[in-house]
Structure 1
Amino acid sequence: MTTLTLVKAWTTAKERLKDAGVDQPAIDARLMLEVAANVTRTEIVTDPYRELSAEQQAMLEEFLVRRARREPVSHIIGRKGFWKILLRVNKDVLTPRPETEVIVDEVLKAFPEAMPFSMLDLGVGSGTILLAVLAERPAARGLGVDASNEALAVARDNAANLDLNTRAALMHGDWTAGLSDGSFDLVVSNPPYIPTAVIETLEPEVRDHEPRLALDGGPDGLDVYRLLAPEILRVLKPGGMFAVEIGYDQSKAVEALFRAAGAREVKTIKDLSTHDRVVTGVKNPLETGT
C-alpha cells in the first residue's frame, strides 16, 4: 500500500466521491479523513504532509466505499454537528439538518437566557432541538417524547455527553398521550411530513438509510399535523409558544390546522434557502381551559 499524506488522502478521497456523484465531496472527504486519521480540520491544513498509518488508510478506504454507496456521512462517522452542539447519530434517528436550526433560532428569540421555562419536544429523535435549546438556556428544562426506543437510546447518550441529562427527561410515548393539559411553556416538533409516495423519489442517503417512521407523513404529508395541532394547544400553558417544522409547500395547510385548533399569532418562518420551514404561534393567554 502506498503511503498517503493528509493532503493526498483528502484530494484522492474528494475525487472518488465526486466520481461517485456525491453532493459536497470536499466536505465529506474532510469529515471522514478527520475521523479515520484522528486529526482536526486545522491539522489537515497546517500539517498536510503527515503520513497516515496502514490502519488509518484502511479505515478511510472503508469509509469511502460506504459513502460511494450513498450511506450518509453522519452514519459512517457516527456524529453530526447541529447549532452549537455535536450529536451522536446512527440509522435509528433522522440526521440533524441545518434547516431545523430555524426552530432553535425562533425559540431563543422568544425565551431570554435567564428565563426558566419548560419545553416539550415531540418526536425527539437524537435530541436535536431539545438539547440545542437546553444547551443555550441554563434555566430551562425539557421533556422529549419518541415512539422509537432506539432513537431514545441515542438521545439519552447525547444528553449525557452534553451534561444535560439532569434537565432533559426522555420518554417513550405516542406523541402527547398521557401528558396533562397546560403543562409546557414551549412545544417544538419536527414531525414526519413527507407524503408517502414522495419517499421513493428522495436521495438514496435519505430513502435507504433514514428511519421511515421519521419521514412518512401519510398520503398528503399532513397526517401528524392533524393529530398534533389540537394536542399541542392542549398541552401548552396559556400564552405558551409552539414551533413545528414543515415541508416547503405545507405552510397554508399547517397554519390553517393550528388556527382551527385555536392558536393565535400563527405565522411561517423561512429558512436560509428562503423556503417556508417553521410554523409558530401561541396559545391564547386568556384561555383557562374548560
Structure 2
Amino acid sequence: MYLNPDWRILTVGDGDLSFTRALLSRVDASQLHGSVYDSEEVLRDKYQQHAVDDLVQCQVPLLFEFDVTDPLSWQRLQGKQFDLVIFQFPLLSQLGSAAAFSSIKHVGGLNTLNRALLHQYLFYSARYALDPNGAGVCYITSKDVKPYSHWGLDHALTAHTPMHYIGEQHFDLKAFAGYKVRNVDRDKHVKDTLGITYTYALQHDTMTQHCHRRHYLDDDNCCMLCRAGPFQGVMDKENHFNSKSHQQMQQFSMHWQHWLSERYNK
C-alpha cells in the first residue's frame, strides 16, 4: 500500500482504530483523521484492546457513529478535505446488513448489499471528503477469496461516481505494526491473509505507477466477471459462459445493475 507522507488521510470503518494508529508510523498525526461505525461506548465495550486513547493522546480527530452509507455522517467532516480515504477489509455481517440497509430495496442478498456499501463509500468520498486539487484517491483493502472476490471490486463499483478504478496493490499486514484485522461484531481478529488494496482515483492517470491491472480487465478474450481467460478457442469460451460458476456471476451482476437502476433512475 503506497502512502505519501504528505497526504491528508481519513480512515473509515476502522473497527478498533488499530489501523489508524498504525498509520502514525507513516504519516504525521496532524495529517490523519479516523472514523468508526460504532459509538465510542460500544467500541470500548466490544474490544478489550483498542486504539482510542492512543489516538486521542496524539490529537488525531476521531468520528464515532460514522456510517459510510449516510451523507449526514460525511457532512460531519465540515468541509475537511483529504488526499486519501481508506476502508480496510469491509464486510457486512448477516445480522447487521438488514438494519444498515433497511431503506433500500434490493435483490441479490449480501453480495448486492456489500457492493452497495462499497459503492456508496466511493460515491460519498468523492462528494464530501476528497480534495479535487489533491491526490483524490480511495483505497479498499480486501481478501482475494470468496465472497470478497465476487463483489466486482475491480470493475463494478464506480458507476455513477467520478471515481476511476486504477488497479491493485499488495497489502503487507506486517508493515502496519499493531494492526489487527477484526471479525465483524466480535472481539476477535482474523488470521493473517493475503490482502489486496484496490485503488480508485478522481483522475484516471493517478497512481498508475504504484498499481497493476489484471489482464482480464482489458482483454476481450477474457471474462471480467469470473476473472477467467484468455480462452483457448471458441469451444473453451462457450464452455465457460455456459458454466454454473459464470451463470452465478451473471446473476450477481444483474442484481447489481438492478440496485443501481433503483438508486439512480428514479
Give the TM-score range, shorter chain: 0.3 to 0.5
Q: Which has the higher strand share?
A: 1
**TM-score for the superposition, normalised by structure 2:** 0.48
Structure number with the bigger relative contact order (C-alpha 8 A, sep ≥ 6) is 2
Q: Which has the higher helix share?
A: 1
**TM-score for the superposition, normalised by structure 1:** 0.44
